[in-house]
Amino acid sequence: MKRLLIALIAIGTLLAFAGVGLARGSIPDIPAAALPREAQATLAQIKAGGPFAYAKDGSVFGNRERLLPSRPRGYYREFTVPTPGARDRGARRIVAGAGTAGDARASGEYYYTEDHYNSFRRIRE
């Protein structure tokens, strides 16, 4: 039993170092109502098709971190969530998937990050 436990720990460690992770792909949810009010406003703007305050809003999000489900390039778009007191765009974003219709406005696939893509939470409406 002890050897089995040691083997499982070793395998888990190897997978983690390989970037696989045992829980890879599981993204925690956040209810839309629990988002900061600025994020709620950004989500409403996405669904309305704008207007957006920043030129980069709506640009392709490459998912280089591989934290979101793997999709073809161009599937995800990023939008700035204003940060009170920040002098630049800040670290908060909503990333929207294109969904089956190819339209981020109606896809229902939205992710929130408050730490500039280091982690995501799927927005549950």
Residue type present at position 18 = A
Q: Is 38 a catalytic residue?
A: no
Q: Which residues of 10-41 are buried (b: 16+ CB within 10 A; e: fewer)?
A: eeeeeeeeeeeeeeeeeeeebeeeebeeebbe
Q: Is 78 a catalytic residue?
A: yes
Which residue among 65, 78, 109, 125 is the active-site one?
A: 78
Place of tokens 């992710």: 111
CA 105, chain centre distance (Å): 16
CA pair distance 101, 86, nearest whole angstrom: 35
CA pair distance 28, 53, nearest whole angstrom: 28
- List residues with catalytic annotation: 78, 116
